[in-house]
Structure 1
Amino acid sequence: MNNDVLLVRTEGPVLVLAINNPSLRNAIGPEFFRAASKELARAAADSTVGAIVFTGAGGFFCSGGNLNELAANRERGPEVRRERLELLHKTILDIRRSPKPVIMAVEGGATGAGMALALAGDLLVAARNAFFAASYIRAGLTPDGGLTALLAESMPRQALTHMCLTGERQGAERMHQLGVVTTLVEKGHAVGEAIELARQLATGPERATGRILGLCRDARMHTLAEQMEREADAMVASQGDDEAAEGIAAVLGRRDADFTSLRGTATA
């Protein structure tokens, strides 16, 4: 399915969502947020979708909000501005709450809210020549989309503050050193690498994958004791799941596990 703001296709068990506004370097706004949240909800309910890849059309990931629209918001009043921000924030939260792994494939660059979008995924594949910028301050604006929280998961406060106060570009290699980018590839290969990684994850144990995503996404929000309690709950559930029966039997039998037949089934 294609529409004006989002190109949607499937690659086997992988749902690929491409931001489609190349003339404005894939600037995003309310139409994109609604479309992306709709596709994320559809994927969550579809047992044939095992993982999701976000990318941008035309060799650039996303330049963030449309500055003409942001300028017009000055005349719309605080309530309308807030409503539009809530659409962005809902999309970010929908990504973070997805029961399926979400992989971001960044070519060219990711700036402003586009950078927040890139950081919201579970894994981030970027071309070596790509760049990232918290560029709000250049327009007299402040970060949104959870950017400061998402960056704080990977970098020291001083580095976060420097990036937000200066708006300077950071190369993908530097972001890889900081742990923000998980995989570096050559120019033009980010989408292909992300899809291959997504295929790998999509053939894994569906429910165990979902439990791991929940543990990893919220790990920094809990004390050690709280996180161990969450791990215990997940492990108890996993041990009683048919996925574990297949996985353990495969390891003991020195064969590859086949989790595909268990997708969409109830926990044992």
Structure 2
Amino acid sequence: MTAEPSALLDIHGAIATVTFNRPQAYNSIGLDEAKYLATLAPRITENPDIRVVVLRGNGPAFCAGGDIRCFVSHIDNIEPMVRELLEALHVFLMALRDGPRIVLTSVHGAAAGAGFSIAALGDICIAADSARFTTAYNKLGVTPDGGGSIGIVERVGSRKALELFLATDSLTAQQALELGLVNQVVPADQLEAATADLAARLARNTPDAIRLTKQLVQQSSRTPAAAQLDAELEAMAHCMQTPAFREAISRFVKK
């Protein structure tokens, strides 16, 4: 019998769902899993209909980070392996980060190490009230990966990020919400339905509005005010020339 792939990609209309699919290993990511995720990137980026990408985990956890067994099996020559692993993972992450789609991370159980980083790298994060977020890097004497030095730093700032990476054991979902790492916390038995509802609401936005709003938000912290205002002007002018804007105005006037 053929084993199921380590990640599942399900596309329904404007919403693509990527499910980490190693429940027996808490969806940890080793070399093979990273390579497989990289193969999913073009299937997402080359589909113009996708507006929202949902990341979730199968089984008891969202993602427990790097696969320790993979590290152990390469311990005597680990550098080439970890370079190959992270380069493959980066293909997947950059497709989501830089793409014109909203990435919604849906977290339950453990989000540890790279799992925490990936959860924070999403544009929006929804979590079960029982979820726990653990950086885990300080326990292994390593540095952040999986985009943690991007997403977590953007959400909480550099000082708090340093504390999380170097001196914090774990956060509850409520603590993550208070820090701005999570947008919404729901009862665990309602996470799937709440995620589907939020994804559907996000997908109702036009592709141009999603792409340009995400672009404006991502560049705002490093763009001078005058240049950012110019970018807002150009984005608004573009959106107002689309058929979607004309239809929306027409509906509004009719009301």
TM-score between the two structures when normalised by the length of structure 2: 0.90
Q: What CA deviation, in whole Å up to 9, does each residue of 1:14-46 have, x standing for no partner?
A: 222110111111101233333334334223332
In the other structure, the counterpart of 1:183 is 184
Q: What CA deviation, in whole Å up to 9, does each residue of 1:79-111 have, x standing for no partner?
A: 443232222222222111122211110001201
In 2, distance between residues paired with 1:77 and 1:9? 33
Q: How many residues align?
A: 253
In 1, distance between residues paired with 2:212 and 2:136? 34
Pick closer, same or farther for the CA change 1:65–1:77 going to 2, 3 Å.
Answer: closer
Larger displacement relative to structure 2 (72-81 or 215-224): 72-81
Pick closer, same or farther for the CA change 1:173–1:99 going to 2, 3 Å.
Answer: same
Larger displacement relative to structure 2 (179-188 or 10-19): 10-19
Pick closer, same or farther for the CA change 1:175–1:137 going to 2, 3 Å.
Answer: same
> 1:99-248 counterparts in 2 under 5 A?
99-248=100-249
In 2, distance between residues paired with 1:38 and 1:203? 27
In 2, distance between residues paired with 1:173 and 1:158? 20
In the other structure, the counterpart of 1:45 is 46
8 A Cα contact 2:121 2:150, kept in partner: no
Pick closer, same or farther for the CA change 1:247–1:41 going to 2, 3 Å.
Answer: farther
Pick closer, same or farther for the CA change 1:245–1:193 going to 2, 3 Å.
Answer: same
Which structure's residues are more often helix, by fraction?
A: 2
| Deviation, structure 1 residue 125 | 0.5
8 A Cα contact 1:40 1:98, kept in partner: no
In the other structure, the counterpart of 1:33 is 34
8 A Cα contact 1:116 1:147, kept in partner: yes
Pick closer, same or farther for the CA change 1:73–1:137 going to 2, 3 Å.
Answer: farther
In 2, distance between residues paired with 1:9 and 1:144? 26
In 2, distance between residues paired with 1:77 and 1:62? 22
One-letter amino acid of the structure 1 residue matched with residue 91 of structure 2? K
In 1, distance between residues paired with 2:81 and 2:57? 27
Pick closer, same or farther for the CA change 1:40–1:88 going to 2, 3 Å.
Answer: closer
8 A Cα contact 1:53 1:105, kept in partner: yes
Structure 1 unaligned spans of 5+: 255-268
| Deviation, structure 1 residue 71 | 3.2
In 1, distance between residues paired with 2:39 and 2:228? 31
In 1, distance between residues paired with 2:120 and 2:89? 14
In the other structure, the counterpart of 2:68 is 67
Percent identity over paired residues: 25
| Deviation, structure 1 residue 175 | 1.0
Structure 2 unaligned spans of 5+: none
Pick closer, same or farther for the CA change 1:3–1:226 going to 2, 3 Å.
Answer: farther
TM-score between the two structures when normalised by the length of structure 1: 0.86
In 1, distance between residues paired with 2:45 and 2:82? 29
